[in-house]
Amino acid sequence: MRATATAVMEGWFALDLLVEGDRCRGVVALDLEGGRREVRAAHVLLATGGAGQLYAVTTNPGESTGDGLAMALRAGVAVADVEFVQFHPTALHHPSAPRPLLSEALRGHGAVVRDARGERFVDELVTRDELSRAMTSRMLDQGVDHCWLDATGLEDFERRFPTIAASVRSAGLDPTADWLPIAPAAHYLCGGVVTDLDGATSLAGLWACGEVACTGVHGANRLASNSLLEGMVFGPRVVEAIEAGWEGPRRSGAMRAVLDGGTLLENTTVSDEAWFAYSPRAQPAITSRQALQEAMTCGAGVVRTDVSLKATEDALGHIATTPTDDGDDRDHHELRNLLTVASAVVTAATARAESRGCHWRADHPRLDPAFHRRLLHHPALDSAMTPTPSDSAPKERAK
């Protein structure tokens, strides 16, 4: 059954891209009753957000399961830079999900970070990735799962930071008297579906904007609030490009890595065959999601090594091949998408044997000029391609 392209299908869940020949023609979606529908469209815009649910601790909402990214990977659309996952160092360590953020403004105004012994151990004004690594390393050394943010010295807290004060108080803490428990949380996926500067992907008829896209603006790291740019600049640009009759990508932004030849990664998308052999009766879907999040957090999180990534890959393989039923509900498909994206992250993080931006390899702690290039998931490309020219490669941002 077909739906009209002009209707708003609230609550429907997009499953996969409809690709005919070399063009995207719409999506297959689950309707509110769980029935599969074809939604045909002249143009499809992926705007499904990030994939923070890959990790056990995240600031992202429950629906940030990398759906658009997974759809693109399954359809063979070029994806890049997914190893660059930004962790926010000062998420409130509290059972609530998603984790409330204690913004940089607190540290900017003098709040200090303390370890389990109450000692300061890091310059609080370093970048998000540096602070996340310092905290993770200290937490591992001390065998604890959080540090502390001491904002008790800040004057007039409630008036200057009313939103933070409210979320902290709702967790039963008084920011003027209590040290606040904090831990790094997965916050933003810098990479995504490769686009040009008008949001065109490598597949005609398919466009992407927002966190799901890899436009090239973030490089290997992300400056705070650049998502505003992703939404407010690239969203309208997509519309303008479609109205202007553009077909297919141009050589701009991250798309240069695809059109000029980037470094191809082996395609590790979990096949549908493996997936549909999976059974929630044996292991409930929620448990499988937690197992995936645990594996990604331990082995492909703030700090990675070849060994930890291999362990994560093995754990994902176990989840992917554990028998389950053939249910067609949203949880089932979100887990399927998480597995697809997790495999892509692990593959890219393994291949990038260096440390750059928010990708930290403890076994390769230096920047390696040989990796000054994007790593692409794109089965249609020739693996013998030349490296990406440096002007289109992920760069270190100014601190």
Active site residues: 128
Q: Name which of 80 and 315 has its Cβ closer to ligand FAD.
A: 80
Q: What is the DSSP string of 289-339?
A: HHHHHHHHHHHSSSSB-HHHHHHHHHHHHHHHHSBB----SHHHHHHHHHH
Instruction: Say whether the peptide bond before residue 98 is cis (omega within 30 degrees of 0).
Output: yes
Backbone angles phi, psi at 11, to 5 degrees: 85, -5
CA–CA gap between residue 66 and residue 176 (Å, rounded): 38
- Residue whose tokens read 């937690």: 290
Cβ proximity to ligand FAD, 98 vs 249, nearer residue:
98
**Which residue is closest to ligand FAD by CB?**
210
Q: Is 198 helix (H, G, I), strand (E, B) or coil?
A: coil
In the bound complex, what is the minimum distance in angstroms from residue 164's beta carbon to ligand FAD?
Answer: 11
Q: Is 48 in the site for ligand FAD (CB under 6 A)?
A: yes
Q: What is the DSSP string of 260-297?
A: S--EEEPP-PPPHHHHTTB-TTTS-HHHHHHHHHHHHH
Kindly write out the interface string for residues 225-244 of this chain, putting x where it contacts ligand FAD by CB under 6 A and - elsewhere: xxxx--x-------------
Q: Which of 14, 80, 92, 302 binds ligand FAD (CB under 6 A)?
A: 14
- Phi/psi at 301 (5° precision): -100, -130
Piece of the chain touching ligand FAD by CB under 6 A; list 193-201, 210-218, 276-284, 376-384: 210-218
- The site string for ligand FAD over 168-207 (x = CB under 6 A, - otherwise) reads --------------------x-------------------
Task: Give the dihedral of Cα atoms 147, 152, 153, 158; nearest 10 deg.
Answer: 120
Can residue 67 be called a binding residue for ligand FAD (CB under 6 A)? yes
- Map residue 382 onto helix, strand or coil: coil
- Give how far Cα 65 sits from Cα of 55, 104, 200, 230, Å: 10, 26, 22, 19
Give the residue, chosen from 51, 55, 60, 78, that forms a contact with ligand FAD under the rule CB under 6 A: 60
Structure-block tokens of residue 228: 């505003």
CB closer to ligand FAD, 47 vs 183: 47
Residue 188 Cβ vs ligand FAD, minimum distance, rounded to whole Å: 6
Q: Which of 3, 28, 97, 101 binds ligand FAD (CB under 6 A)?
A: 101
The stretch near ligand FAD (CB under 6 A) out of 61-69, 195-203, 317-325, 340-348 is 61-69
From the list 142, 153, 74, 81, the residue with the least C-alpha distance to 111 is 153
Of residues 215 and 392, the one with the C-beta less far from ligand FAD: 215
Instruction: List contacts with ligand FAD (CB under 6 A).
Output: 13-14, 47-50, 59-60, 63-64, 67, 101, 188, 210-212, 225-228, 231
